Each structure stands twice: as structure tokens, then as C-alpha cells.
A and B are shown apart, each in its own frame.
Chain A
């Protein structure tokens, strides 16, 4: 596998001094505490860390689902931290693909329709069938979520996320609900998509084994990035041990 991330002049994301504080009553939780980070176009990054270390909070802010308390997030030079709801909605619609632990498929739509749901409103989407073929589900297109296995459902979610040709693909515990064999199939799909579409991909996981498939690995602890390392030699998902 290629180990160098694709290079470009401007990072996709430039995050600096990012802080997020949640207040419930008198309790104050500092979920992010001054995070600095830059993600390059086409890069695949894995974010590791225990529960509550801040990785999901970062992903939510970068994905335009939440706003920071302090600091700046720039997407291709555009500041997200002060954006309005409407701007964030448009940002998510045009640029971001999400993959979640519990798939979040629409149960009343078939696999094909779940993907078409997104392509209908995207600017320059691929055909839903092509997106499903990319994750190896061309034969299951007319099945409803209830008729698919967990791994298949997650691959539909990936197809849905990439069908709009997003700039970034944000995956929060994409293999968290899957067994290892299925998890590997899902990771293979993610790697292939990253390779073929060039979407910057960020994967949050508890599973340290997955780190080896990334260009870069960030380790989170107590709301900060404790370490960041570049993988000199990436491995294929099929070689990952769980």
C-alpha cells in the first residue's frame, strides 16, 4: 500500500487551540483542551484513545455537528467555528460524509434508496449503484436494512457517505458493533474508498489494531492529542489483527 499521504498546499482541516467545555448544572467537563491539528487532502487518519478522551467531540466539531467553546476550525480556509446553523447544514450536505457505529440507515428505505436519499440532494454525486458496487454490495441493492447483516448495513452507510463524493469522510467507531471478520470487510471498503475517491478520511476507534492502516495516527488523552505518528508502512485491512 502507498504510505505517503497525497500532498497539497492547503490542509483540508486546520484546527488550532480547539477547546470544548460542556456544562451541566455545576459540573463542567472539558472535552477538548486546546487541540491543534491539520489534516491533508486524501489523508487517512486514525484517532485512538479511551472513552471521554475527546476524539468524538473533535469529530463532531470538524463535521459541523457541534461548535467549539474556543479556538478555530478551518475547512479549506473557511472558518467553521462561527458558522450559522444554515451554513453548517450546507457544509455537511456538500462536503462531509459520515459513518457511525450504529449505521443510522433509514429502515424504510432499501440499500439503493438509502444511498439515493443523499445523491438526490448532492451537487455532483456518483450513481447509487456505483457507490454500492464500490463497497461490494451490488447484489444487495434492493434489500431493506432489516434484511442485511451488520457488516452489510455498515457498508451501505459507507456507500451512502461517499456517494456525494465528499471532501471528507468522518467515521465514528465504524467497526464498533461488528465482529472482526466483518470489521475487516468494512475497513477494506473504507480503504478502497479513500484510495479511489481521495476523500480525506478520519476514523475514530478504540481498536489499536486498526492504526496500521492509516497514514497518520493521533492518540487522544484527556482532551488533548497526546501523540501523533506517521505510519511508515501501512498494512492492508486484511492483515490487521483484532
Chain B
């Protein structure tokens, strides 16, 4: 049997006595440990899995597309300094027809070499086999799409390839590094049912698209020390005469960029949230230990008097701190591991990796434990130093009475503030310990801030949905033609069943330059009085497109260092290499992508190729939408269709589900912090003032009146914490919104008043419950005992 030293017995009994307060602190620590393990574990899981998967499948470093480039260029590209492998291929959007699904699905049809594996972007075969050479009706499809439709090798579906319907039989189910996060045209989140990736042999697609000896897509891997920018510039030079639309690297690769965004989020979570919890728990440890040491002042004096060293006393209180922290670490580690597995499962739904393992390496737990111990000891340091410094003779005498300042009253005879003596007691106590009051207020403000930071996403996304789908892109569907067509095509579109209105658009890839700065973007030309899809100014008002000049989204203008009135050099990616100066006439508001707009007529003039349209945006009679879907599936000239209404619904669904989970987590975290701070604060107050409060009871004050002293004090801090929490929350939200900002999308910072209100109400509710738990102790004050003892 282990024999505990007498000091350790005291430790165990102290801990047993302080269990409720210790648990409240341990829970706050547990939240820190949990979020640390969760965020770091998930970050590692995603990073490691991504690295391993990319490595295994040789995911490209640089990508580019062209209209039609001769295969002979492949050798030229391979010869660029720094390129280690090149894969050319044919990749085109297609419309997929699935029996039993009304709306058409879209897909990317991508070629794979007839023999052997691709040098870049290899496929990971989940089941079945790749198509056999020479078979024109065989295809492999990506797993997410297969699973959404219950496809297995041997099943088949129809696809519109270059205007001809083909019946394809599925030979294998694959994963592709290019489509870990597979997102269809016009979509904001993956819709596995409506977007598929199909791989077929090169010869088959050469035949289907009349691309013999040519390619329209190229991916490269680079040598370790390659100059990426240089490679991209050279690749652009080679592809330009063949309709090259500009090389881009992984950062701008849709799938990888989304993964990066998720990682940014996780890293931000690991960096911001655990420190908040650890800071609060350090403060709580300080509060509890300071009080415990004040109460045990005479015991400490006695221990020193009988010969215990300062080190023994410091270690005694450190052990208490470490034991509380250990409880927090254990609870946090269990919760973090459990939630981490849940998070990995959630990622499994969104990201198509062959495996995704939530990292549970011991070092993660060791780091969490050390960080927690260190912050707790830092919080305890001040109190423990106080105990060590106390000379034994002084310690055994009662402490000097606490002095107060005569504020909140006025003069005894003259003017008096309208506070009762009970209120004055509460207020003076707050002012007497300004640091503690400030930290408790801050500790209560942080959960408010945390809630605002998690809830603001709802407001921002509502605003985004409103802006994107109800103010800007108000069409029900966007039809993109296989090739640019004459203006007459819009009449054909208008005649499609169910179409109520149709607006043409022209899209041209172009390089925009300003001095040494340049960007490759799509310039979208629309009619000046366009009403279905509108361009918004910075106040979200619709802009009438000016007859000449370019409108750029704010972020794009920033990238190019342009202001309205400046000239932009525009070079269309039509292989002609003409550079035309175009005035920047205004800035637009866009949350998605880098956008450039101009009037269709101006774009037609710029191209010098007459009036051409790339597709149409349509408003559809909802009751006839099925007929439109059928027609689209039968129309060879339509290459792809983006369904804005369906995208919006899917987006809302996914967001609601995800935000629902995260809000539950954040509300729980906020309530735990509030409880930790307020409960402990109230317990300490009660302990310090037990004698005072019991005296009040003796003098005939009721329980309710006596509680008022305690509740006033807490109330003042909790109320002060609200505006402070709003401010901090706004600051945090701004950081989060900034952190999310990328060229692909940005989140506006919108915080509606109800968000502030709800955040405050949750914390006020938590504070009230914590205070009432402590309030019950006032009813049990021992009136007689306190009268016989001195402070």
C-alpha cells in the first residue's frame, strides 16, 4: 500500500473539498485540450493524407488548358527547365444522363493514356479495372459520384459527348488527386449526385472530339528546385498560339484550394481557441489558489514553523494545480479523440481520399498536457510565490484588515448617491480588486466573443446567399454551349420548354496586365440592361454596364493595383497576342472568384470576331423544369448546365448541417467557460465574504437581500462583459473572415444585432445558473459559527 505523506493527505482532502471549483476549472482546461487535439489532429490527418495521396498519385504542380495544341508540343514542354514529368490529355465538360434523375448531371470527361498509367495525376483504383484499350464504350468514374448513384463496375449510364449520346459501361471506380474536393460548375459545395468525373482512353476521346494528335489540357510535375513562375511563363508562351488560357499552380487548383482553406481554418482554430481556454483556466487557477492560500495562511505559517521548507510548500500547492490540470487533460484528451474521429468521418464525406486517419500520435497528447500544465502553473505562480514569501511569524497572525476607498457614497451629511449600503458593499469590493474584476469581466466577455465568432458565419452566409443568388445571379440555370455561337442561338434557348426568359453572355479568357502585375481571368460580357444576372456595385446595387470599359471585382483590382480611371492592358487568350488598353470604369462586389465584366458589345469589339455568345442564363417555369432538363439532355450544343437554384439549396443544406454541428460545439464551450468563470468567481466571493454575509443575516437581512450583494457584484461584471465581448467578437470575426479570404471566394463580415443578442443571452443564462447554484449556499450559512471567529 502506498503511504501518503501528511502533506499529500492534506492535498487529497483539499482537492475533495474543492471538487466543484476544481472540476469547473478542469472543464475549461479540457475544452482547451480538446480543441487543441481536435484541430491539430485533424490538421495532421488532412496534411499527411493529402501529402501521401498526392505523392502516390503524382498530383501535378502546374496545370494549363488550351483550345487545341499539337501533341508535338509535349516534348517542348518537357524540355522546360525544372519540369520533371508532363501529361497531355483531352478534358471536356459533358452532360450526364442518369435514369431516374430528373435534373441533368454535369461531368468532366478526361482522357487517360491508352497504355500504362499517366505520368501526372494518376488514378487510384478503388474497385474494378481501368477501361481496356480499344473499347469505346468503357469508362471509369470517381467514387463520390458512383456512391451517390449506387454505381458498381458493370453498371452503365448515358453521356452526351460532343453532341452525341453514348452509352458507357463502368469498368472501375477511382479516386483522383484533382477531385479530392469535387465541385461542379456553379456549385459552392460538392454535390456528389450532380457532378461526376469520367475517365476514358485517349484514342476514344481523340475520335469523339476530333482531336487526333492534339490535346487541350496539360499537367506537369516539377523538379524540387524548379522555378515555378518561370515554368508557368514558358508554358504560357508555348500554349499561347493554341488558345492557352494561362498556366496555374496548385494554389489555384480548385480541389487543392478548398483543402487549403479547410487547413487554414483548422490551424486558426488550433492557434486561437486553445490559448483562450488556457488563459482563462490560468486565471481561474490563480483565483482559487490565491484564496486557498489566504485561507490556509496560518497553516502555512505552522508548517514553516515546524520546519517544512519553502520548496516543500511550493511543491505542495504546485501538485494541487497539476492534479486539477491532469483531470482537465484527461477529459479533454478523451473528448478530443472522440470528436476527432467524428471530424474525420465528416471529412470522409466531403473529401475523396483513399484513407483518412485521425492522428492519435502520443506526442499530440504530450504537447497538450505540457501546454496545459505550463499555463496552469503560470496562473498559480503568483499565489504560490505569495505563500513562499510569507514569514512564519507573520503567517500565524491574521492578515491586516483590508482597506477600502470611500467611493460610491458621497459625504455622510451632504449629497449621497442613490445606492443602498448593500450596493455600495458590492461596488467597493469590485473596485478594491481591480485586476480580478477586470480579468473576471474579460473571462466572461470571451465566451460572448467566441459565440459571435461562430454565429456570425450564419449572418454572413445569409448575406452571401442573398447577394449571390437573389441580387446577382438570379437565373435558375446557366447553359454553356459546346462552342461559341451566333446571337441567334439565344432564340433557340428561349424556345426550350419551360424557359421564361433568357439572357446571352459571352465569356473570354484573357490576361489582364498593369505593369509587371498580371492575372488570367474570364471576362464576362453581358447586355447592358441585363436583369437576370446582374453585376453589383460595392453597395450591392445593380450596375448598368457601360458601353465601353471594364469592371473588375475589388480584389482583382487590388491584385493588379488598379483604380477606376486607370488603363488595363487586356490580351484575350485567342492566340492572336493582341494587347489592347481598356479603361477600368468601376469596381464590383463579388464574393466568388476574381471577376471581370464588360458589356457584351464592348467584348465583341475587343475580340474583333463579331458577335458571338458562349451561353445563356435562363429563368425557368418551375412546373416545367423537368421538360427543360429532358431537352437539355437531348441538346448536343449544350456542353454544361449549372443549376443555380439546386446549387443554392445544396449549399444551404450543407451549411446548415455543418454550422449546426459547430454551433452546438461552440455554445457548449461558451457555457463551460461562463460556468467556470462565474461559478468560481461567486464561490471565491462567498468564501471571502462569508463572515460579512452571515453578519448581515444576523442583523436581520433576508437571504434575498444578502444574496443581492453577491449578485450585484457578479451582475456588474457580467453586464460590463457584454459590450467588451461584442467588441472582441467583432475583432475575432474580422480575423476569421480575413483568414478565409482567397481568390476563390471571400466571406463578408456581417454581424446582425440578433447575433450579438443571442451570444449575450447564452452567456447571461449560463452566468445566472452558475450564480444561482452559489446563491443556494447563502441559505446554508452558519450564522453562529462566524460570530465566534475572526477573519
Contact = CB atoms under 8 A, between A and B. Distances in A.
Q: Tell me, yes or no, whether A binds B.
A: yes
Interface of A: 56, 60, 63, 65-66, 86, 89-94, 96, 98, 100-102, 104, 106-110, 112-114, 116-118, 120-121, 128-129, 141-142, 144-147, 160, 172
Given A102-B790, A144-B406, A146-B404, A110 B699 contact: no
A106 B695 contact: yes
Given A107-B402, A146-B402, A93 B412 contact: no
A117 B784 contact: no
Contacts of A93: 699-701
Contacts of A102: 787, 789-791
B73 to A, nearest CB: 86
Closest 8 CB pairs of A and B: A93-B700, A117-B421, A92-B700, A146-B401, A108-B428, A112-B412, A104-B695, A102-B790
Contacts of B402: 107-108, 146
B431 to A, nearest CB: 9
Contacts of B411: 142
B703 to A, nearest CB: 8
Nearest to B786: A104
A65 B401 contact: no
Interface in B394-418: 400-404, 406, 409, 411-413
A53 B252 CA distance: 90
A218 to B, nearest CB: 20
A100 B790 CA distance: 11
Nearest to B706: A89
B783 A110 contact: no
Contact of B412 (A107, A129, A172): A129
Interface of B: 400-404, 406, 409, 411-413, 420-422, 424-425, 428-429, 432, 691-692, 695-702, 705, 783-784, 786-791
A93 B428 CA distance: 24
Contact of A147 (B403, B699, B791): B403
A172 B787 contact: yes
Contact of B700 (A94, A113, A144): A94
A110 B409 contact: yes
A44 to B, nearest CB: 21
Given A101-B787, A106-B425, A106-B695, 5 more contacts: A104-B787, A108-B428, A108-B429, A109-B404, A109-B421
A113 B787 contact: no
Nearest to B428: A108
A116 B403 CA distance: 19
Contacts of B784: 60, 65-66
B403 A144 contact: yes
B424 A108 contact: yes
Given A60-B784, A92-B698, A102-B789, A108 B425 contact: yes
Contacts of A66: 784
A89 B425 CA distance: 21
A106 B692 contact: yes
Contacts of A147: 403
16 contacts: A56-B788, A89-B700, A92-B699, A96-B700, A98-B699, A104-B787, A106-B425, A108-B432, A110-B406, A110-B409, A113-B409, A142-B406, A142-B412, A146-B401, A146-B402, A146-B404
Contact of B699 (A56, A113, A118, A146): A118
A109 B432 CA distance: 12
Given A66-B784, A117-B422, A146-B401, A98 B698 contact: yes
Contacts of B404: 107-109, 144, 146
A90 B704 CA distance: 13
Contact of B401 (A60, A107, A129): A107
A104 B429 contact: no
Given A107-B401, A120-B420, A100 B787 contact: yes
A229 B437 CA distance: 56
A98 B700 CA distance: 10
Q: Name the residue in A89, A108, A144 with the highest tally of chain B Cβ atoms < 10 Å from its Cβ.
A: A108
A106 B706 CA distance: 13
Contacts of A144: 403-404, 406
Q: Name the residue in A66, A89, A107 with the highest tally of chain B Cβ atoms < 10 Å from its Cβ.
A: A107
Nearest to B790: A102
A104 B691 contact: yes
Contacts of B696: 106, 117
A118 B701 CA distance: 9
A89 B428 contact: no
B401 A145 contact: yes
Contact of B421 (A89, A94, A100, A120): A120
Given A89-B697, A108-B425, A121-B701, A65 B420 contact: no
A146 B702 contact: no
Contacts of A112: 412
Contacts of A141: 412
Contacts of B699: 92-93, 98, 117-118, 160
Nearest to A117: B421
Contacts of A117: 421-422, 696, 699
Nearest to B705: A121
A65 B786 CA distance: 12
A156 to B, nearest CB: 13
B393 to A, nearest CB: 21
B425 A104 contact: no
A129 B421 contact: no
Contacts of B401: 107, 145-146
A101 B787 CA distance: 8
A161 B424 CA distance: 20
A144 B400 CA distance: 13
A65 B788 CA distance: 13
Nearest to A145: B401
B723 to A, nearest CB: 26
Given A65-B698, A96-B700, A118-B699, A109 B424 contact: yes
A166 to B, nearest CB: 10
A181 to B, nearest CB: 21
A137 to B, nearest CB: 12
A144 B412 CA distance: 13
Nearest to A160: B699
A65 B421 contact: no
A106 B422 CA distance: 10
B702 A86 contact: yes
Contacts of A98: 698-699
A172 B784 CA distance: 11
Contacts of A65: 698, 783-784
Contacts of B789: 102
Contacts of A172: 787
Nearest to B430: A108
A94 to B, nearest CB: 7
B287 to A, nearest CB: 19
Q: Name the residue in B404, B425, B702 with the highest tally of chain A Cβ atoms < 10 Å from its Cβ.
A: B404
Q: Name the residue in B421, B425, B702 with the highest tally of chain A Cβ atoms < 10 Å from its Cβ.
A: B421
B125 to A, nearest CB: 77
A142 B401 CA distance: 17
B689 to A, nearest CB: 9
